[in-house]
Amino acid sequence: MMILVDTNMVVLCHYTLRDGSAMGDLIESTEGGEPLGFIHGIGMMIPAFEAHLQGKTKGDAFAFPIKAADAYGDYNTEAIELIPWGAFKLEPGVRPEDIFVPGEQVPLQDPSGESFMGTVVETNEEGVLFDLNPPLAGVDLYFSGEIVDVRPATAEELAHGHVHGVGGHRH
């Protein structure tokens, strides 16, 4: 019996992500490594990505574009923020210039404890200028790949909200 990609199914797939089109620059790929594993339909993946895989089965190939607006969003020029030096709590012995390297992603926390990532734009006397856009904001995506396996998620996987074993957590 063919098991189809649907909500609460574990999907293992190999994929290659390129910028904009099949001929675009390589952004990332699982080829040659472990496949990506995710539980379908629970918000782990970009909804447009899941929509394209819905109903496919083991062995199916896929190739499709997703516009930036339907992926990580359009680039927001307002999402550039200067965080003053006084706002950082650095571990003793950690030098700011080792962490705040332009282009590097740094985990940040707002005063309410919410975690997010920021990309360092530059540092100056006042603090660190961060780009708070997701790294792929404004980028049109092109995915291609193959479904490696589809199986129902276990009760434990659903409770944890992630895949166990190949393509997922080992704990």
Which residue among 52, 158, 169, 170 contacts Zn ion (CB under 5 A)?
169
Query: Is the CB of 52 or the CB of 160 nearer to Zn ion?
Result: 160
Footprint on residues 44-103 left by Zn ion (CB under 5 A): none
Asked if residue 154 binds Zn ion (CB under 5 A), the reply is no
Footprint on residues 120-149 left by Zn ion (CB under 5 A): none
Interface with Zn ion: number of residues (CB under 5 A)? 2
Only segment of 39-47, 94-102, 136-144, 163-171 that touches Zn ion (CB under 5 A): 163-171
Which residue among 1, 48, 160, 170 contacts Zn ion (CB under 5 A)?
160
Only segment of 18-26, 108-116, 136-144, 161-169 that touches Zn ion (CB under 5 A): 161-169
Closest CB to Zn ion: residue number:
160
Rg (the chain; Cα; Å)? 19
Sites of contact with Zn ion (CB under 5 A): 160, 169
